[in-house]
């Protein structure tokens, strides 16, 4: 029996940008029916970022199509009383509501947890605001980069001895998504056992801090701020990224024991410099890593990053290229795992997306991300039984909008 885990669970998603939508994408992979509520009054900013060569594409582009894969979309203006009435009908036949809007958004529409609970007593509401729904800063605004700053991550990110920098990939968003999913799934498990729903509130900034305990505990235990270390490690050396043949090509190498060091030296052809006392034990190598890194770079530069990886992996030394996106998508072993999926989006055309970061035989097969309001008919007619004439009126009066 290979029914996906969440088959039969219906989720309403009030989500935008990244952290919220990626929750929806993963829930769809788990087999849930995820209905994203959108409105032309204020589009998800990721629908309109201009990442396209096709001007006809409209609000069907960019990151939206990566994170909202497998999700359904309806358009509904909740500021209209009729819109609110319709969403309440949908709540009645749903299990979970997820949102990464500001804490005031849902209560502002009259959809606070107390109201939702009256409509559907065992409803699960999972809110994922930047700083949580309680506390003095609950209304503060943020993007991924802000969360990294406030959560204590940015202060430790940067090249050794230099100023802190913005990360670039903004992992705080998918970290928020995953914690949001912990909330959804824990609450579903609890409802299964007790019949009770609940409101789970997640603070994204706390999520960031909870993933860097070394930084926090260094301060707690020794009153020290962890310095910015780039690729460096507390113990290991060499532990860095070295230049390779070609333009902007790099390979990461990490050596944690004397045996691995010997293996690395052997692959490098046992150069004389490697016999120097400065590199004779792990501590000495760590102490002299600036010089060590330069010498290793002198060896790696004559090979491609793939060649260095293969030579070192054959000798049991941890090494891998610092892949750019094109290399990563086209790397045969990565392809073999099937993490990237090529889809043909109805409007946007060829779209590369990724599945949830694990393999399970139960993962649902999902269509591309929806166009705006693509599932209006299914939700309004089939699920809620609204007739064609009413639908026409609702479109006319910009309730379905």
* Contact between residue 15 and residue 21 where contact means Cβ atoms under 8 Å apart: yes
161 lines the binding site for other proteins (CB under 8 A): no
- Of 19 and 386, the one with the shorter C-beta distance to other proteins is 19
45 lines the binding site for other proteins (CB under 8 A): yes
N-to-C CA span, the chain: 40
Task: Out of 58, 59, 112, 230, point to the residue binding other proteins (CB under 8 A).
Answer: 230
257 lines the binding site for other proteins (CB under 8 A): no
Distant-in-sequence, close-in-space partners of 175: CB < 8 Å, separation ≥ 6: 204, 207, 208, 211
The CB-of-58 to other proteins minimum distance in angstroms stands at: 13
**Which tokens go with 347?**
């409007």
Task: State yes or no: cis peptide before 380, omega within 30 of 0.
Answer: no
* Contact between residue 55 and residue 380 where contact means Cβ atoms under 8 Å apart: no
362 lines the binding site for other proteins (CB under 8 A): yes
CB neighbour burial string for 320-353, b if at least 16 within 10 angstroms, e if fewer: ebebeeeeeeeeeeeeeeebbeebebebbeebeb
Task: Out of 151, 368, 370, 373, point to the residue binding other proteins (CB under 8 A).
Answer: 151
367 lines the binding site for other proteins (CB under 8 A): no
Build a one-symbol-per-residue string for 289-328: x at contacts with other proteins by CB under 8 A, - elsewhere.
Answer: ------------------------x--xxxxxxxxxxx-x
- Of 288 and 356, the one with the shorter C-beta distance to other proteins is 356
For residues 293 and 286, give the distance between their C-alpha atoms in angstroms, rounded to a whole number: 10
For residues 42 and 36, give the distance between their C-alpha atoms in angstroms, rounded to a whole number: 14
> Cβ–Cβ contacts within 10 Å for residue 140, how many?
14
Q: Which DSSP category does 147 fall into?
A: H
For residues 251 and 195, give the distance between their C-alpha atoms in angstroms, rounded to a whole number: 52
Task: Out of 112, 115, 119, 231, point to the residue binding other proteins (CB under 8 A).
Answer: 231
**Which tokens go with 207?**
């999520």
225 lines the binding site for other proteins (CB under 8 A): yes
* Contact between residue 208 and residue 130 where contact means Cβ atoms under 8 Å apart: no
The CB-of-187 to other proteins minimum distance in angstroms stands at: 7
Task: Out of 14, 16, 131, 380, point to the residue binding other proteins (CB under 8 A).
Answer: 131
The CB-of-61 to other proteins minimum distance in angstroms stands at: 6
The CB-of-119 to other proteins minimum distance in angstroms stands at: 16
The CB-of-50 to other proteins minimum distance in angstroms stands at: 9
105 lines the binding site for other proteins (CB under 8 A): no
52 lines the binding site for other proteins (CB under 8 A): yes
218 lines the binding site for other proteins (CB under 8 A): yes
> Cβ–Cβ contacts within 10 Å for residue 75, how many?
23
The CB-of-88 to other proteins minimum distance in angstroms stands at: 20
Task: Out of 282, 288, 304, 356, point to the residue binding other proteins (CB under 8 A).
Answer: 356
- Of 3 and 41, the one with the shorter C-beta distance to other proteins is 3
Task: Out of 42, 161, 192, 277, point to the residue binding other proteins (CB under 8 A).
Answer: 192
136 lines the binding site for other proteins (CB under 8 A): yes
């Amino acid at each position: 029996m290979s029914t996906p885990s969440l088959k039969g669970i219906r989720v309403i998603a009030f989500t935008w940008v990244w952290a919220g939508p990626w929750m929806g994408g993963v829930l769809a992979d788990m087999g849930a029916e995820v209905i994203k509520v959108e409105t032309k009054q204020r589009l998800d900013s990721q629908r309109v970022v201009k990442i396209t060569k096709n001007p006809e594409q409209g609000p069907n582009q960019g990151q939206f199509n990566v994170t909202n894969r497998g999700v359904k979309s309806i358009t509904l203006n909740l500021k209209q009383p009729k819109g609110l009435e319709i969403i309440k009908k949908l709540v009645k036949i749903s299990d979970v509501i997820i949102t990464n809007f500001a804490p005031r958004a849902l209560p502002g529409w009259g959809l606070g947890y107390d109201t939702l609970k009256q409509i559907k007593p065992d409803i699960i509401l999972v809110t994922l605001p930047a700083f949580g729904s309680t506390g003095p800063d609950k209304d503060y605004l943020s993007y991924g980069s802000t969360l990294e700053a406030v959560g204590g991550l940015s202060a430790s990110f940067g090249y050794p001895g230099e100023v802190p920098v913005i990360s670039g990939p903004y992992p705080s968003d998918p970290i928020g998504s995953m914690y949001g999913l912990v909330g959804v799934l824990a609450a579903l498990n609890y409802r299964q056992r007790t019949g009770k729903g609940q409101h789970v509130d997640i603070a994204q900034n706390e999520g960031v801090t909870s993933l860097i305990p070394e930084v926090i505990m260094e301060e707690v235990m020794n009153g020290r701020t962890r310095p910015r270390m780039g690729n460096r490690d507390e113990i290991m050396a060499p532990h860095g990224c070295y230049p390779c043949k070609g333009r902007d090509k790099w390979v990461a190498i990490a050596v944690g024991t004397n045996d691995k060091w010997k293996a690395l030296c052997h692959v490098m052809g046992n150069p004389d410099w490697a016999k120097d006392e400065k590199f004779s034990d792990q501590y000495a190598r760590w102490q002299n890593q600036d010089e060590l890194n330069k010498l290793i770079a002198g060896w790696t530069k004559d090979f491609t990053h793939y060649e260095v990886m293969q030579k070192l992996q054959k000798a049991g030394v941890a090494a891998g290229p610092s892949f750019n996106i094109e290399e990563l998508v086209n790397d045969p072993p990565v392809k073999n795992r099937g993490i990237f999926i090529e889809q043909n989006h109805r409007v946007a055309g060829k779209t590369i997306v990724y599945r949830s970061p694990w393999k399970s035989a139960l993962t649902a097969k999902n269509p591309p991300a929806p166009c705006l309001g693509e599932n209006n008919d299914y939700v309004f007619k089939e699920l809620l039984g609204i007739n064609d004439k009413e639908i026409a009126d609702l479109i006319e009066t910009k309730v379905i909008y």
